[in-house]
Amino acid sequence: MEKEGAYAWLSLGGNDVLMLNDARGIEYVFKRNADNYRKSKFYNVLKPMLGQSILMSEGTIWRRQRKESSPVFAPKPIEEMIPDMVDAVESMFRRWETKDISKEGIDLNFETMFLALDVLLRTLFHEDKKEKAREMQAAIITLLREAEERVWSWFKLPQRITFLLPKYRNSLHLLNQTIHDLMVARERNQSYPEDLLSRLIKSYGSSDEERKLLRDQIMTFLLAGHETTANGLVWSCYYLSLHPEIWRKMQQEVDVVFAGQPPSAHNIKELVYCRQVFEEVLRFHPVVWTMSRDSIVHDKIPLEDGTHLDIPPNTTVMLCSYAVHRREKYWENPDAFDPERFSPDTVRKRPVFAYFPFGGGARQCLGIRFAQIESVLSLAMLVQRYNIHLKPGQAIKAIPNITLRPEGAVFFRLLSRQKIQHGVSEPFEVVQLPELTPLKSQCPFNQVAV
């Protein structure tokens, strides 16, 4: 079987699936003939949680949903959210002050999830639901895992039956109730007329159907803007702990750019190297590692070598960023972690769709700018304050489900740079850690893709 190729036909759960690894073909599906490709049936597992929201819908409903929420994600409103993002990171650092983060370490898989949810609640909802955040986080994860288990499993109980189990029923109830409370509180208090919550509330009527659509939208933003960003941050910490020289280079940049000032819209733009590091994390380890579309009518997908692929109607086309981001055709030495790949000159030499961590075309991630600023800002603040080491003795596994996330807790030791400057040495041996087991051994497509 080909080790590195433009495409492969697979059989997944009884469906013929085209795995497309060719940048020209991917651009065609995402952009040039996007009207012929709708979200695939594999997304249906998210329906009990997300209903008919922007992530799942098509046609007129999707256009309406995209239009009503897009203004919140324009550059200016996002710049205005930066002080709230900074406060969320600062408050995470304050929580750590009572913990022994330098020896015992801290689980950054959990902490980044909490941070991402806190940022969302502060910026898009203007809600301080800290007492609820942990419960909400647990409920979101429970429901997401249920959906994920369905994607690849052969034996599936209907979701309406699974959702009778108390674990799932209670999680769904908690989230529905929280969203209901958010809506009711906002309808009483009009203090933030332009944030996402107010905009969504204004866009929907009072009928049951409209209220249900509104609930689906809120739930989607809570989910789509939460797990993804948190995963990107924890993997950044993981790869940076393997590459202390890159962490130090980021520190040099951050020290010059921040120069004792808090992060702002102006100075974040100057964090060029930090941004390249984050882009490389999402190449090496794309959080949304695969996407899929179903063709509507028969089509011919053009490839870079001038040939075409015949696509029958209702064929699932899988766009696997994990595989494409490691194709030797587009990336020299793809298994090496190297942020220099994202220097502007190098980027110009690659086809645009050799890199798509946020998808592409009209359905590209709506939160892309929000996620980039939040992630670079959080990493920069972390780098500015601490040196980082992965705690030895952990078996870290990447689980390729809907997102590519670490399994369970991931402990890091963080030593304050201020303390190091005052003569406190690193209180432990810095060990050379083995690289993460390559995804190859776990990825369902390993035999053809990477």
Which secondary structure element, helix H or strand E, spans residue 316, and what is its range? strand 316-319
> What's phi and psi for 310, nearest 5 deg?
-80, 125
To the nearest whole angstrom, how small is the minimum distance from the Cβ of residue 136 to ligand HEM?
15
Contact (Cβ atoms closer than 8 angstroms) between residue 85 and residue 373: yes
Q: How far separated are the first and last CA of the chain, in Å rounded? A: 11
Contact set for ligand HEM, span 134-153 (CB under 6 A): none
Query: Between 2 and 41, how does the x/- string for binding to ligand HEM read (CB under 6 A)?
Result: ----------------------------------------
CB of 111 to ligand HEM, least distance (A): 16
105 part of the interface to ligand HEM, by CB under 6 A: no
Specify the residue, 101 or 287, whose C-beta has the smaller distance to ligand HEM. 287
Partners of 310 in beta bridges? 300
**Distance in angstroms (rounded) separating the CA atoms of residues 291 and 289:** 7
Q: Which of residues 44-63 bind ligand HEM (CB under 6 A)?
A: 54-55
Binding mask 350-369 for ligand HEM (x = CB under 6 A): -------xxx---x-xxx--
Minimum distance from CB of 46 to ligand HEM (Å)? 11
Tell me if 66 contacts ligand HEM by CB under 6 A.
yes
DSSP code of residue 30: I
CB 346 within 8 A of CB 331: no
Look up residue 299 and give its DSSP letter. Answer: E
Residues 248, 273: contact at Cβ < 8 Å? no
Based on the shown chain and the rule CB under 6 A, indicate whether residue 413 belongs to the binding site for ligand HEM: no
283-318 b/e with 16+ CB inside 10 Å = b? Answer: bbbbbbbbbbbbbeeebebbbeeeeebebeeebbbb
Distance separating alpha carbons of residues 337 and 335, to the nearest angstrom? 7
CA distances, 171 to each of 63, 144, 167, 390 (Å): 30, 10, 6, 32
- The verdict on 219 binding ligand HEM (CB under 6 A) reads no
- Any residues with CB less than 8 A from the CB of 255 and at least 6 apart, and which? 384
User: Is residue 225 part of the contact set for ligand HEM (CB under 6 A)?
Assistant: yes
The pattern of x and - marking residues 283 through 322 that bind ligand HEM according to CB under 6 A reads ----xx--x-------------------------------
Chosen residue from 78, 81, 224, 383 binding ligand HEM by CB under 6 A: 224
Contact 337, 235 (CB under 8 A): no
Query: Binding residues for ligand HEM, how many (CB under 6 A)?
Result: 22
Amino acid letter at 284? Answer: F
Residue 316, both tokens: 């699932």
Q: How far is the CB of 371 from ligand HEM (least distance, A)?
A: 4
Q: Can residue 370 be called a binding residue for ligand HEM (CB under 6 A)? A: yes
- Which residue in the shown chain puts its C-beta closest to ligand HEM? 367
Residue 218 binds to ligand HEM (criterion: CB under 6 A): no
CB of 69 to ligand HEM, least distance (A): 7
Q: Which of 52, 228, 290, 315 binds ligand HEM (CB under 6 A)?
A: 228
The CA distance from 383 to 333, in Å, is: 27
Check residue 371 for interaction with ligand HEM (CB under 6 A). Answer: yes
Minimum distance between the CB of residue 164 and ligand HEM, rounded to whole angstroms? 29
Binding-site ranges for ligand HEM (CB under 6 A): 54-55, 66, 220-221, 224-225, 228-229, 232, 287-288, 291, 357-359, 363, 365-367, 370-371
